Every structure is written in C-alpha cells, then in structure tokens.
Structure 1
Amino acid sequence: MILIVDDTPENLISLKKVLEKNNFEVDTASSGEEALKKVLRNSYVLIILDVQMPGMDGFEVAEAISGYSKTKETAIIFLSAANTEFKFIAKGYSSGGLDYITKPVDMNILLLKVKTFYRIYEQNRKLNEMQKNLLEEIEFRKEAERKKDEFISIASHELKTPLTSVKGYVQLLERSVSKGDTETVKKHLAKAQVQLEKLNSLIADLLDISKIESGKLKFNKQNFSIDQLVDNVIEVMHQSNPDFKIHKKGIANCEIFGDEMRVEQVIINFLTNAIKYSPGTTEIELTLNVKDEQLYLAVKDSGIGMLPEQLAHVFDKFYRVEETSQRFQGLGIGLYISSEIIKRHSGQVGVNSTYGKGSEFYFLMPINSNSDFND
C-alpha cells in the first residue's frame, strides 16, 4: 500500500486517482502528525511525502519514520515545489528519502518511479523469504544430522548390550558344561535366549525403519479375528511378564482386513512400552471396540507419563524422552514404526498422558481397509 502525505487536498485527490487507476492501493494523510499515526498502525511499501507542510515538514516526518523498525523496508519519495535547491535535495536524501521530485509532477515519471520501487520491494521480499527458508532448511539439516549421530550412538550401545550379555553367558556355559552342571546350563541358556530375543527385536526394528525409508515395507492383508489376535498377544505377554496383569475391556466381535502380523507388532509395542515405563505397577488396561466401522484399541498404564511438550514428538523417528533415556533401553523407533503401520492401514495413532500418572496409547483404523498404499 502507498501512503500519500500532502496538506493540499487537490494534490491528494489527483495523485490518489492516478495511482488507483494503475491498480495501486492508496492511503492518504493531510499532515505529518496524521502520517506518523497511520505509519504506526499500517504497513506501507512506499510513502510519497510533501516537503512543505505546516507543523511537521516532510523532512521531520521522514526522520521520525526512520526510527521505526517496521518501516525499514519502506521507500520514501519527497515532493517539493519550492525547495528545489541542492541543499534541500541533499537534506531529503539524508532524512531517509530514496528520491526527490520537484513540482509540478510529471505523472508518467512518478508512475515509473513507483513501479520501480514496488519491483525492488517485491524482489527484496522474495530474497528475504528465500533467505529465511534457506536458514530454516540449514537448521533442519543440522537437526537431522544431530539426530542421526545420536541414533547411531544409541543403536551401537543398545546392540552392544545384549551381545555382551550373550558373550558372558556363553563363557559361563562353557564352564558349566565342563563341570556337567545341567541345571546351571539350562539357566544360562534361558538367560542367553532372552538377550538374543532382545537383539533380534532391535535388528527387526532397524530393518523395518530401513524399509519404511525406502518405501519397501510390505503388507500382506487378509481377513483375521482381532479378538483372537489380542487374546493371543495377551497370553504371550503374560508368559514373558508374569507379574503384570493385562485387563481386557470390550470386544470387537468382527474380522479385520489388514496385515495381522503388522497389527500384532503395534499391539505388542504398545503393551511392551506400557510395562517398560510403569515400574512399580502390576496392571495394564487394554480397551477394544468397534464403532462406525472403525476399530479402536487402547493400552493404558499407570506409569511415569509424559509432559505436554513431549506428547507432540512421541511418534517422531528416533525420539526418546530425555529424562528416561538413561533409565530405559530402546532405539526410539518403535512408536514411529507403529505409527507408520497404522497409517498404511488408513488409520491414525494417538496418545493421552499425565506426567507422573500414566499414559494411554491408542489407534483407530477401518475394519475393512482397502487401501493399496505400499501393499
């Protein structure tokens, strides 16, 4: 928008008509004081400023405007009928003006100058926008690099832990075998098996995330009983975590069209996390129902919970809650993989949580997902 400042109404009207005829948006002020008030309220690309005005003259107005941070990109053109000497023109430039035109005004020249200033403004605006986007992109590259380095460090540590444990149990097995101590051999084998299962799970997650990144995560969709799947998962989880009681609430009483193994992977992830992040508790609640052809499954615990600012990132790739990373093992990709699996079933995941009181992870998905996306 252009602001015309002139104490002569005829000048305001004629200039306004010419500029509006050329599709410029125009505002007017009949004094320096009024111009300053308008500059504080509005943003202007260009100010056409008369030099000789009662009260504040054009030079004073320009000097005052130059002190406003919001007007640093605003161009000023001075108009003057009397002050045409070099010293006045020089004062105009030193006051912050970018051009000085003497009256009577050649409208064609003025229009060319206005169009030029508008073009420069647009170019500067685009350059500033490009610079901002570039800086944001650089920061995103830096953050991605930091996350990648952090992930490599975490992955190395997490993979090394079960490997070291297995190595230790193998050494103990060698001693027990040589002594013929069968019971101790069985005990060490069982413990080594637990560590190997952890290692297998970590490697499976790494392979899954690699497939997701490359768009090669495959799905084998068919009809299956979600109630039977949930019951089987609860039974398996109870065998590996006998101290935890998983209470099932509700029933779906229908078949789901989807990849049974992948949906099972999500449910196991939710339950495993609920157990992991609920030290000192012994009960978990799994809710299951179908409404409007949508399956709803939620796992609720009474564990450590999360802060509101953490909830927005919990399904992000490689995200781990900072204060829990030293206490709990994991790569920070299980929930991300679960989220991607549900998305590929045309569903969505979510979480409700209160810090210190527990979390509830859930997903919604159509019971008949016919999407061919990445099948």
Structure 2
Amino acid sequence: MTVTADPRISTFLLRLAPVTASLSVLVGTVVLVGGWCFGVEALTVLVPGLPAMVALTAAGLILTGLALWLLSPLPPVPRQRAVGRLCAALASLIGAITLAEYLFLQNWLSRLCAWLTPAQDAPLQPSPQTALAFLLLGLALLLIDVETRRGHRPAQYLTLVVAALSWTALIGYGTGASQLHTLPGLPTKIGMGLHTSSVFFALCLGILGARPEQGLMSTLSGAHAGSSMVRRLLPVLLLGPCVVGHLSLMGTRAGLYTLTTAFALVTGMLTFIGLPFIWSASRRLNQAGLALEHAYRTEALHRAWLMSIIEQMPDGILILNEQGHVLLANAAAKSLRARTSDGLEPPGHPLLFDMRSPSGQPLPSGAGPVVRALTHGEPEAGIELSLRTWDGRSVPVLASATPIQGTQGTPGGAVAIFRDISLLKDLERQREEWTSLVAHDLRQPVSVIALALDALRHDTPGGPAEEQQEPLQWIDTSVGRLRRMIEDLLDASRIEARQLRLERQPVFFSVLVHESVRRMEGQSEGRPFRITAAEEVRTLVDPLRIDQVLTNLLSNAVKYGTLHTPIDVEVTRQDDELRVSVSNEGPGIAPEDLPHLFQRFHRTAEGRKQAAGIGLGLYICKGLVEAHGGQLWVESEPGRRTTFSFSLPVVERA
C-alpha cells in the first residue's frame, strides 16, 4: 500500500542531501589539506589524546560527499550518475582494502600515504569502524535506486548500519566510554574520530533523505498520523537516553551519588520521559481511529444513498468486475435477464442476458457492448439491441457500457446501462402507421386530380385553349411530384416496419445498369455518362428496386454535378460481391453532413437550394440495398468529387 507523502517533509529531506554532501566534502578537504598537507594538528585531532581523522578518511569523505551530491538529484543526470558511481566505488574500495589490511596484518594504503604523514607520530590507517562505514556507504550509494519486488531499498538498510556505528561512537564521546569509538585491542589513537563520526551520521541522514518517498523513508515522510508520530518520537528516542545518561554520569563523577543511584535515576527519568510520548501517541492513534470510524460511517451512508438511487432507477444498471462477473444489478436489470438464477457468468454469456440485434438475430460472440468495454476498454453508447427475457418478452433497449479504470491504468471492470425504449418504439410504430395511412389516403385525391387533368386535356373539343396549356403543365408536374413523395413515404414506412417485399429474379447486372443510364441520358443536361463494367455477372435482385436505387443516385449526380463534366458509373466484382459506384465532379458534401446523409428527412444546405424533395431518397436507397444484403456508402471531397457506392452479393446460378 502506497503512503501519501507530506510535501513539506519530502522537500526538507531532499534539501538535506546536498547540504550533508557539501559538509562531507568541506570537512574532508579542510582536514586533508590543512591538517595533513600543512601539518595543522588541531584539524586532525579535535581533542588531544582522542582518535584523529587520518588522510585516507578525509579522502574517503570527499569521495562519499561527491557521490551523494551527484546521485541525489531526481532524475539523475546520466553523466553525473556515472561519475557519482565511480566516486562511490572508490570510497567503498578504500573501506574494503583497509578491512583487508586489518585481516591480513598489512599496511598497503598506509605506505602509499606515508609522504602525507607529518613529523609527529600519528597513525595513517583508518579504524575498522571507519573502514566498514566507507564500505557500506559506498555500496549504499551504488544501490541508491535499486528496489526489490517487495518495495525494499537495500541502500537504506546499509545506511542505517552506518548510522548506528557513527551514533554509537558519538555516544561514546558524550559519555566518555572510549570502547564505543575505539575497538578493544587497538591503540587509543586508532578509532573513529569525533568529526569523522559526526560527518558519517550527517551523510547517513543525507542518503536517507535523497529518496524520501521510497522504502523505509516513506513512513517518515508520510502525511498520516503514524508518520507524524514517528517524526515526533524519533528525536526523543535518539537524544533522550544520551542526555539522561550524560547528566547521571556527571553527577557520579562529581561524587553526588553512587553508580547504583545513577542507574536508578536513569531508569526513572527515562520512564517519565517516555510516558508523555506514549500518551501522545495513544491519543493520536485514538484520533486516527475515530476519524477512520467516521469515514467508514460516511462511506457506508453514501453507499446506501447510491444503492438506493441505483435500485430505484428505471434503467437497468450492471456493475461488473474485470472478469465480467456481475457485482451489482438493480431491479430493472434483473427484470431483463434471460433466466432468474443468481449465478455469475462470464461476459457475453447467453444465459444471463440474451442480447440480440433489433431484427432478433443473436449477436456474434464478443460483439456485445459489455464485452468490448471489458476486453478492449472501448466505451459504447446508445447501441440498439433487443433483450429476450426469461418470461418470453422481447424488449428493445439502448445499451451503453463504459470501462472502469483500475489501479495503475489496468482494467477494473465495466458499468452497463440498458434503457428500455419500448414506449419510444410504440410511438415510432404509431408514427409510421400514421405516415403510411396518410400517404395511402393521399393517393385518392391525387388520383382525382390526375383524372380531372386528363379530362381537361382530352374531353374538351379541340383541346384546351392556348393560355391553359402552361397551367395544366404545372398541375401535371405537381401531381407527379406528389406521387413520388407519397411513394417515398410509403417505402420509408415499409423499411421501418421491415415489411418491404422484394421480388427477386436473376438478372445480368450490366444490362440493368445500361438501361438505367439510357433512361437518364435525356435528363443529363450536358453531363455525359461513362460506364465501366466488369465481366458479365448474374445476380439475384429485385430489378425494379435496384433500378430505383440507380435512378436516385444518377439523378443526384446530374443535379449536383458540374456542367459539362462526365458522370462515371463503374461496376466491379470483388470476391463474392458486386460493387457499383456513381461518381461526379461538383461542390461535394460538407464533412459535417456525411454522418447524417442517410438519415430520414435530412437534406444538405446545397440540396435545399438546388432541388425540391423531402429528404427520403438516400434513406430509401440505403434500406433497399440493405434489404438485398448489401451496403451503401459515400466518399466526398468538398469542391472536387463525390462518389456513392453500394455492394450486392453475387449469385452465379439462379
């Protein structure tokens, strides 16, 4: 579980790394140059008689500080990273060689540094604690960005070991216990110097602060109550025993009380110092527990509100996990299931929801919107489906599905909504019936007008007068237009009700195309036709309906094509289907009109200007082509060329 970091603490720890690195480089340089090159003994030994900082130790501090300086930025610069690792490796090498010298009783590095030794008698070899600290700090800097699978940082554990060594040495200096900074069996002057241990401890703080939000440091830099408690207790746990122990030793040395009394005082003082912090920690934990309990109650209340809203919604709502198992289904969704059991099925299982196309055909495997949302992470909205319920009903719905993003961008499930549109379908059916009825009833008055017009033309002796010819022609044109509109309305109603009847018969398609073009040539108005036909192919179609499609497409090409530019009609065969394209040069179709071109009653702005109509021609063409098992589409480039194409299945033998 990731702990949220406190930005202020993280910023402070990040700034600590370059400060401690600069301190290490500064102290090492001053001791190496001033203390060993120029022989200023006060720089190498802060207190006479105590361990000194030798030249190799000063050089190691410089290397370690440089490594921390170069490796602490996030993200590290590649060149700086390489140089920083080199410095860390050299510091670790110094520690490893020094430990080997103690192990094998050699002094290889001491001989190399002999020319730096001042006139007074002083050791040249770092203490074993110092060598171990260099070895571990070098390794920690080399592994500063390494993380195990469980989120542990090896560099932080190595740094904590060095922090324990240096802090122990500092306690020895504070209490006068020389065994804590000088190992038994070694001369007094060979040990971890006071400034050496101080710089080591500062370096440990810098290395830990270089990555404040990772590993063990995430607990210290967190923004929660536990992290705040750790930050409050840590200084007291480090400094409290040291201060109390030092004060008790001062009283013992002054003869105020015996060593036994000093031990009793230390025990009592530590107890009374720890109690307030334990009390404070318990109080904070209680507050955190109360806040968590309040959050749980609030979350439960919000969940209850949400569940109540979802349960009462008229739309069917499903919440599924990443495996497609139903986690939540409201009452409306349960009423749409294909069976009444509460089993959890995988996505798209036919027994849970029997999803079908609007025509009643079962959906192919993996074609449902819920499956696409789960497997591909693709949201689906407003897909018209038909659900076959457990009680035998066929319910038309609009299905929508939205994927849920889990942690780290992985799929976390999906939410599906089924909106019952039975009422809308009934209203649409009533509208279609009304349209069909009105169109059917309009036939009679139009037929009466046509009969009256025929009587005026032929039953009058000598025919109509000259001044009546033009008005009668207007009436004839209007009657023809009304008849076309009525037929369009009837065809649209049949397509919507799926009651369109086709009288299929085998025809040679090229012959059908040539006949349709021949009839349109008289109306082309200077726009010649160019026909490109493939091999003679026989298809099983309704010739009158396909001629209606061709006539509509050719008529549109004549209406909207540029004058004196050819209209291309191309018939090609691709695999098991026949493709017909009608192409013309002209103003083209605007991109915003293309998605709506085949909708009912849709007309482009250019179409409303140039030709009369009600916007059903292309809609009917699409319905007729799809009734034959084909498809109709358009490609248009505004100002250049427009191509309408449709496909039909090929039938080789009647």
Deviation, 1:208, is: 0.6
| Rounded Cα–Cα distance in structure 2 between residues aligned with 1:326 and 1:55 | 78
Matched residue type, 2:228 = P
Deviation, 1:254, is: 2.0
The answer for the alignment partner of 1:268 in structure 2 is 551
Matched residue type, 1:219 = L
What secondary structure does 1:219 align onto? Answer: coil
Give RMSD over aligned pairs.
Answer: 5.1
Does the 8 Å contact 1:289/1:296 carry over to 2? yes
| Rounded Cα–Cα distance in structure 1 between residues aligned with 2:611 and 2:550 | 19
Deviation, 1:192, is: 3.7
Unaligned runs of 5+ in 1: 14-27, 37-49, 58-79, 101-112, 371-375
The answer for the alignment partner of 2:476 in structure 1 is 193
| Rounded Cα–Cα distance in structure 1 between residues aligned with 2:219 and 2:305 | 24
Q: Does residue 1:361 correspond to 2:644, yes or no? A: yes
Change in Cα spacing, 1:6 to 1:310, as seen in structure 2 (3 Å) is: closer
Change in Cα spacing, 1:29 to 1:353, as seen in structure 2 (3 Å) is: farther
Q: Does residue 1:287 correspond to 2:570, yes or no? A: yes
| Rounded Cα–Cα distance in structure 2 between residues aligned with 1:193 and 1:213 | 30
The answer for the alignment partner of 1:51 in structure 2 is 225
Deviation, 1:276, is: 2.0
What secondary structure does 1:287 align onto? Answer: strand
Deviation, 1:56, is: 11
Does the 8 Å contact 1:209/1:337 carry over to 2? yes
Matched residue type, 1:350 = W
| Rounded Cα–Cα distance in structure 2 between residues aligned with 1:180 and 1:279 | 40
Matched residue type, 2:628 = H
More displaced 10-residue stretch of structure 1: 257-266 or 318-327? 318-327
Match of 2:624 among 330, 338, 341: 341
Q: Does residue 1:308 correspond to 2:591, yes or no? A: yes
Deviation, 1:210, is: 0.6
Identity %: 23
Does the 8 Å contact 1:295/1:366 carry over to 2? yes
Does the 8 Å contact 2:586/2:642 carry over to 1? yes
| Rounded Cα–Cα distance in structure 2 between residues aligned with 1:225 and 1:344 | 19
Deviation, 1:247, is: 1.8
Match of 2:529 among 246, 249, 271: 246
The answer for the alignment partner of 2:488 in structure 1 is 205
Deviation, 1:281, is: 5.0
How high is the TM-score relative to the length of structure 2?
0.35
Change in Cα spacing, 1:251 to 1:88, as seen in structure 2 (3 Å) is: closer
Change in Cα spacing, 1:240 to 1:349, as seen in structure 2 (3 Å) is: same
> How many positions carry a matched residue from both structures?
279
| Rounded Cα–Cα distance in structure 1 between residues aligned with 2:306 and 2:216 | 24
The answer for the alignment partner of 1:83 in structure 2 is 284
Match of 1:234 among 493, 506, 517: 517
In terms of Rg, which structure is larger? 2
| Rounded Cα–Cα distance in structure 2 between residues aligned with 1:29 and 1:123 | 40
1:1-375 matches, within 5 Å, as: 5=3, 31=218, 51-54=225-228, 82-83=283-284, 97-99=295-297, 123=307, 189-278=472-561, 280-281=563-564, 283-322=566-605, 324-368=607-651
More displaced 10-residue stretch of structure 1: 185-194 or 252-261? 185-194
What secondary structure does 2:571 align onto? Answer: strand
Higher percent of residues as strand = 1
The answer for the alignment partner of 2:176 in structure 1 is none
| Rounded Cα–Cα distance in structure 1 between residues aligned with 2:608 and 2:420 | 28
Matched residue type, 1:54 = S
Matched residue type, 1:302 = E
| Rounded Cα–Cα distance in structure 1 between residues aligned with 2:571 and 2:607 | 29
What secondary structure does 1:320 align onto? Answer: coil
Deviation, 1:89, is: 6.5
Q: What are the Cα deviations for residues 350-372 of structure 1, in whole angstroms up to 9, with x where unaligned?
A: 111011223110111112299xx
Q: What are the Cα deviations for residues 69-116 of structure 1, in whole angstroms up to 9, with x where unaligned?
A: xxxxxxxxxxx954366x76676689xx3459xxxxxxxxxxxx9xx6
Change in Cα spacing, 1:285 to 1:90, as seen in structure 2 (3 Å) is: same
| Rounded Cα–Cα distance in structure 2 between residues aligned with 1:279 and 1:178 | 46
| Rounded Cα–Cα distance in structure 2 between residues aligned with 1:229 and 1:332 | 26
Matched residue type, 1:278 = G
Matched residue type, 2:531 = K
What secondary structure does 1:356 align onto? Answer: coil
Matched residue type, 1:52 = G
Change in Cα spacing, 1:136 to 1:333, as seen in structure 2 (3 Å) is: farther
Deviation, 1:293, is: 3.0
The answer for the alignment partner of 1:46 in structure 2 is none
Q: What are the Cα deviations for residues 280-301 of structure 1, in whole angstroms up to 9, with x where unaligned?
A: 4553211112232321111111
More displaced 10-residue stretch of structure 1: 178-187 or 321-330? 178-187
| Rounded Cα–Cα distance in structure 2 between residues aligned with 1:328 and 1:266 | 18
Matched residue type, 1:202 = M
How high is the TM-score relative to the length of structure 1?
0.57
| Rounded Cα–Cα distance in structure 1 between residues aligned with 2:559 and 2:230 | 73
More displaced 10-residue stretch of structure 1: 314-323 or 180-189? 180-189
Change in Cα spacing, 1:55 to 1:190, as seen in structure 2 (3 Å) is: farther
Deviation, 1:120, is: 5.7
Does the 8 Å contact 1:295/1:364 carry over to 2? yes
More displaced 10-residue stretch of structure 1: 278-287 or 308-317? 278-287
What secondary structure does 2:579 align onto? Answer: strand
| Rounded Cα–Cα distance in structure 2 between residues aligned with 1:362 and 1:56 | 74
Deviation, 1:263, is: 0.9
Q: What are the Cα deviations for residues 9-48 of structure 1, in whole angstroms up to 9, with x where unaligned?
A: xxx99xxxxxxxxxxxxxx998489889xxxxxxxxxxxx
| Rounded Cα–Cα distance in structure 1 between residues aligned with 2:538 and 2:617 | 26
Matched residue type, 1:230 = V
Does the 8 Å contact 1:345/1:369 carry over to 2? no
Does the 8 Å contact 1:293/1:367 carry over to 2? yes
Does the 8 Å contact 1:289/1:297 carry over to 2? yes
Matched residue type, 2:557 = A
Change in Cα spacing, 1:89 to 1:200, as seen in structure 2 (3 Å) is: same
Does the 8 Å contact 1:258/1:368 carry over to 2? no
Deviation, 1:324, is: 3.7
